[in-house]
Amino acid sequence: MKINVALSRCDNQIIYLCLCSLLFLPLVFWPLESFAAVYKWQDDNGMTHYTEYPPEGRPSELITTNHKAPSQPYVPGSQSDDPKTSATTSAATPEKQAEDKKYCDIARKNLETLQQHPRIRKQDKDGNYYYLDEGQKQAEVSTATKGVAEYCK
């Protein structure tokens, strides 16, 4: 038994509008915050560069765009490009505190393992296992100690 369904012109228009809205809806919610400030500067050879951060010690120009720019332009020396050091100078958010606690736990566990076990086995990028010699182990202990000092405050 064959059923024929005839759609009215109004039904076709509604379907068309729904499909169009589904296709273009993601464009409305595009994350405009992903657009960063753009700095224009020239190197010693006269070559023009466009970067997210201006170079230190060189004049640069902040290029304005139609997109949302960061609330504060980058000022050399005011903050570090290193996320670890800049994170410690910024205000602690609940997300940052949770991340620090996670890294603190990892650093403490690593330090405890390094101090309690005489032989430490690691895996290289090729999947091969090797044992740390005393110098490598001391370097790992130093790194773990720094991690505890940085994240466990």
Q: How does pLDDT run across 80-107, given as a tens digit for each residue? A: 455 544 444 455 688 888 888 888 898 8
Q: Which residue has the higher pLDDT, 104 or 76?
A: 104
Instruction: Say how far residue 14 (Cα) sits from the centre of its chain.
Output: 42
Is the residue at 137 inside a domain? yes
Residue ending a domain, choose from 63, 84, 117: 63
Supply the range of the domain harboring residue 104.
Answer: 92-151
Residue ending a domain, choose from 63, 78, 110: 63
The reply to whether 59 and 103 lie within a common domain is no
Q: Does the pTM of the predicted model rise above 0.75?
A: no
The reply to whether 105 and 55 lie within a common domain is no
Give the whole-angstrom CA distance, residue 88 versus residue 92. Answer: 8
Residue ending a domain, choose from 9, 44, 63: 63
Is the residue at 69 inside a domain? no
Does residue 108 register a pLDDT over 80?
yes
Is the residue at 28 inside a domain? no
Q: Are 121 and 129 in contact (CB under 8 A)?
A: yes
The reply to whether 57 and 103 lie within a common domain is no
- The DSSP line for 27-43 is HHT--GGGPPPEEEEE-
The reply to whether 55 and 97 lie within a common domain is no
Q: Which residue has the higher pLDDT, 21 or 31?
A: 21
Q: How many domains does the chain have?
A: 2
